[in-house]
């Protein structure tokens, strides 16, 4: 007995904000944003719950499932719609899922944390877990601060983790270094604060280290990976990972040019984009890797399909 990932879904708010929109009122330019981050546009709007419902429904529909088929909802988010109750309670109600629901927060590594937790839930008897990553970072970003405004955005993505005959979860690595709080945080009622250069340096280090551990546990190397699905924070961070892991760009899922950094949603959005482009095939080895505030990090290797 094992578990596999089946079905994916995505949701983005309608409103598109381009680099030119920021350049119109901030001391920035399309050239700076594109060259330093790889981001060209992003989406703003919606609530974490409404985006999560849309992505969750998309994943369930594509996999031919109804609420009755889902016995656990895990919502990874850093931007819950309220403190109490958990946003996942509203989401499970809207989707008509049975059983349990909870939120988890491991910042931008949260979606991969949630996948690994879902795998553990299979071992204690659950059959199908809807794992959703949804964030509305535009609500906690100072839109007059050019160093963060151009980066963070809104969106949601989802997958179903289900019991299967064969094991598809081949290796994983999760970690946190809580001493890194001062370089990336948002207090209650405040806005995102980030020491970009320091986060960048550490992100490259932890993402590569964590990916290597997950690959090693799976008995694989970068050469074996069919598709790298990294957290979508900065194209230069992804390129550093490409180089150090030996996984070229044409085997990497990239969506940040169109979405910006959507935290928990970034990895499932990149996965859905690659899937829609016909880049996911049964048997493919997929490496998910993320990092975020905390600092947290998480990597997972799965066999697709």
Instruction: Kindly list the residues in this chain that would bind ligand UT7 in the complex (CB under 6 A).
Output: 28, 32-33, 36-37, 108, 146-147, 150, 196-197, 199-200, 203, 233-234, 237, 261, 292
Read off the tokens for 283.
Answer: 């048997």
Which is the catalytic residue, given 19, 105, 234, 261?
A: 261
Nearer to ligand UT7, 170 or 238 (CB): 238
Shortest CB 141 distance to ligand UT7, Å: 11
Shortest CB 142 distance to ligand UT7, Å: 12
Distance CA 137, CA 119 (A): 27
- Residue 105's contacts (CB-CB under 8 Å, 6 or more residues apart) are 76, 77, 78, 80
* Alpha-carbon distance values, 137 to 32, 43, 44, 46 (Å): 21, 10, 9, 11
Paired strand residues for 303:
285
Closest CA to 114 of 55, 165, 38, 166: 55
Contacts of 249-257 spanning 24+ positions with Cβ under 8 A: 251/225, 251/226, 251/227, 252/227, 252/228, 253/227, 253/228, 253/229, 253/279, 254/38, 256/37, 256/38, 256/39, 256/232, 257/38, 257/39, 257/40, 257/41
Nearer to ligand UT7, 50 or 141 (CB): 141
Shortest CB 203 distance to ligand UT7, Å: 5
Which is the catalytic residue, given 43, 105, 231, 242?
A: 231
Q: CA torsion angle for 245, 183, 105, 286 (degrees, to 10)?
A: -10
Residue whose C-beta lies closest to ligand UT7: 196
Nearer to ligand UT7, 193 or 200 (CB): 200
Shortest CB 241 distance to ligand UT7, Å: 12
Which is the catalytic residue, given 108, 186, 234, 242?
A: 108
Nearer to ligand UT7, 51 or 65 (CB): 51
Nearer to ligand UT7, 3 or 207 (CB): 207
State yes or no: is 191 an active-site residue: no
Shortest CB 195 distance to ligand UT7, Å: 8
Look up residue 96 and give its DSSP letter.
T
State yes or no: is 108 an active-site residue: yes
Task: Decide if 131 contacts 59 (C-beta within 8 A).
Answer: no
Positions annotated as catalytic residues are: 108, 231, 261
């Amino acid at each position: 007995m094992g578990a596999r990932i089946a079905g994916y879904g995505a949701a983005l708010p309608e409103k598109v904000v381009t680099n030119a929109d920021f350049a119109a009122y901030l001391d920035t330019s399309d050239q700076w944003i594109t060259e330093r981050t790889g981001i060209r546009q992003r989406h703003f709007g919606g609530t974490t719950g409404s985006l999560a419902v849309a992505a969750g429904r998309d994943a369930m529909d594509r996999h031919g499932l109804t609420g009755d088929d889902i016995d656990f909802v895990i919502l990874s988010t850093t931007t819950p719609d309220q403190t109490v109750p958990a946003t996942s309670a509203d989401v499970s109600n809207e989707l008509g899922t049975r059983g349990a629901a909870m939120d988890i927060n491991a910042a931008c590594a949260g979606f991969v944390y949630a996948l690994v937790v879902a795998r553990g839930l299979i071992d204690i008897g659950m059959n199908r877990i809807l794992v959703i990553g949804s964030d509305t970072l535009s609500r906690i970003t100072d839109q007059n601060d050019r160093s963060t405004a151009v980066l963070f955005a809104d969106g949601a993505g989802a997958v179903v983790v289900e019991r299967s005959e064969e094991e598809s979860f081949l290796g994983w690595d999760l970690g946190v270094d809580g001493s890194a709080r001062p370089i990336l945080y948002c207090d209650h009622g405040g806005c995102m604060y980030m020491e970009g250069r320091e986060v960048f340096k550490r992100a490259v280090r932890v993402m590569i280290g964590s990916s290597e551990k997950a690959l090693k546990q799976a008995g694989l190397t970068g050469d074996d990976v069919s598709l790298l699905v990294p957290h979508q924070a900065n194209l230069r961070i992804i390129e550093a990972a490409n180089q150090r892991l030996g996984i070229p760009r044409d085997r990497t899922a990239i969506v940040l040019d169109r979405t910006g950094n959507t935290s928990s949603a970034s990895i499932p959005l990149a996965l859905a984009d690659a899937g829609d482009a016909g880049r996911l095939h049964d048997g493919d080895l997929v490496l998910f890797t993320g990092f975020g505030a905390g600092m947290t990090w998480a990597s997972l290797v799965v066999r697709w399909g």
